[in-house]
Structure 1
């Protein structure tokens, strides 16, 4: 991925609220799309308000859990 230096300044290193691993989050970047935007969206009920972003591994696990549960609004359904 190619991006300008100013856009890369918006990417921040954060800690996953579930596992504690550090990862780069571009959710606040203006010109850079975060990696998570390529992932299926989670139902609102699965998101804890104010908890922060999940790391790639925890997000994949959560998406798989929702898909297996067959919950209404599950990604890929």
Structure 2
């Protein structure tokens, strides 16, 4: 297989900094196409730039927590 045969949507397996589970992160691939893009954005105050990406379960939990707390910029839903 040549380099031109590889998919531009390859994902990279990473570990969630919160729970330690391995998951596929499309944002770390060549093109920024990831499952997390379909989820509501977190308020800036909830982001920790140095910690890395959360797994789907932890990200969903953080989004739900932001909604419950009524954090400014929390996604509606």
Task: Output the TM-score relative to the length of structure 2.
Answer: 0.83
Find the aligned partners of 2:14 and 2:47 in 1 and give their Cα distance.
17
- Which portions of structure 1, spanning 4 or more consecutive aligned residues, are displaced by more than 3 angstroms? none
What residue number does 1:45 align with?
A: 45
Does 1:54 find its partner at 2:54? Answer: yes
Question: Distance between the aligned counterparts of 1:55 and 1:31, measured in 2?
Answer: 19
Structure 1: stretches of 5+ with no match in the other structure: none
Give the paired residue count: 73
What is the CA RMSD across the aligned residues, in angstroms?
1.8
Cα separation, partners in 2 of 1:52 and 1:32, compared to 1, 3 Å: closer
TM-score under structure 1 length normalisation = 0.83
